[in-house]
Amino acid sequence: MQKGKEVNDKLSHYKELDKSMTFKDLEEAKKNKKGPGFKIKTLKTEHNCEDVFENPRAKTKTLAEYFRSKVQNNPKLEAYANEIRESNPDSDVVINLSKDAMAEGKRRFLRMYICFNAMKLGFKQGLRPFIGLDGTFLKGHCKGQLLVDVAQDCQNHFYPLAWVVVDKENTLTWTWFLELLKHSLNLKDGTSITFMSDMQNGLLEAVRIVLPLSNHRFCVRHIDANWSKRIRISGEMKKYLWWSAWSTYEEDFKDQLKNLGELSVDIVKELLRYPPQNWCRSYFDTLCIKLDGGQQFYRVLQLLDLRSKRQAYPEDA
């Protein structure tokens, strides 16, 4: 306090704490017994503490190593998987360990897949064959990425099918995820199944490898966002983008592109970088007319992201 650190609390009926107050002043405040307020129980007038401006244990890398070791060496993760299998028969839970670590005689968590049997039955018995694919970063103590498959029910509400925790998003992890999903839902070669995504890293190639006969659409909402990052887009241009996406026959689609081209030729070239077969309704060969993932699909990832933040900072929850 004597070194200039401010104390903003007030002593009711006593005196206001001030940065210029000495230990003697505080001692006098302690002796004042009138009215409710602040009371010092123990006062140490001499201190030999050194100023410290860094705490190694509070560094992100140190914390990450600490919690990584707890997860890697924690047998409760396998107990959790066994509990899911016992309490939810026919549910699929897969835990992968690092082969490099196994060669060194260590156990290191690599990725985990979960698909509850109730979700599988609901999809097979009553949901349309439409699946959205997306991912988000985990921002809690344990870093990584969460990849999610989400369907939609008859009221267009989100319906989580399966999810995985992986170290990073690439073709390998998406292929691993889709192979397990293919087995869980019995998707075979993907015939009659429609996927929608925002063209994440490695996802396009993974879908082609695992489910070659499936329909893969691009979310127009993400096309709009990516399109706007590269070129300045006006409200009228966005309008023609969505009219193009909703065109029910090819001639109408070309007319909308022509109208867009009158505003800017470069805009049309940028838009056609995305194959129209993947985002324009006139080229769809199924009954599902969805053009974007919808707000409810992304609420799944928002809720999961919020949950990871609450676990990382419970005092702010």
The model's pLDDT over 224-278, given as tens digits with 9 standing for 90+, comes to 888 777 777 788 888 888 888 888 888 888 898 898 888 888 888 888 888 888 8
* Same domain as 198, residue 108: yes
Segment 75-95 mean pLDDT: 89
- The confidence score (pLDDT) of residue 164 equals 94
Q: 232 vs 67, 225, 263, CA distance in Å?
A: 44, 11, 12
What is the average pLDDT value for the chain, to the nearest integer? 77
Residue 309 has pLDDT above 90, yes or no: no
Residue 298 has pLDDT above 60, yes or no: no
- Ranking 45-59, 83-97, 186-200 by mean pLDDT, the lowest is 45-59
Element containing residue 252 per DSSP (H, E): helix 250-263
Domain span holding position 241: 220-278
Residue 196 gets the label, from left (phi > 0), alpha (psi -120 to 50) or beta, of: beta
* Same domain as 194, residue 120: yes
Q: How far apart are CA 225 and CA 218, in angstroms?
A: 12
Q: What is the pLDDT of residues 4-53, one digit of tens each?
A: 444 444 444 444 555 566 666 666 665 555 555 556 667 777 777 777 77
- The confidence score (pLDDT) of residue 170 equals 92
Name, of 121-135, 188-202, 291-305, the range with top average pLDDT: 121-135
Structural domain count, the chain:
2
* Same domain as 224, residue 211: no
* Same domain as 262, residue 172: no
- Three-state DSSP state, 137: strand
Residue 168 within a domain:
yes
* Same domain as 211, residue 225: no
Reported residue count of the chain is 317
Q: Quick check: 168 and 155 in contact, CB under 8 A?
A: no
Name, of 47-51, 69-73, 161-165, 264-268, the range with top average pLDDT: 161-165
- The confidence score (pLDDT) of residue 179 equals 96
* Same domain as 161, residue 83: yes
* Same domain as 248, residue 311: no
- The confidence score (pLDDT) of residue 133 equals 92
β-bridge partners, 112: 95, 165
Q: How far apart are CA 252 and CA 265, in angstroms?
A: 18
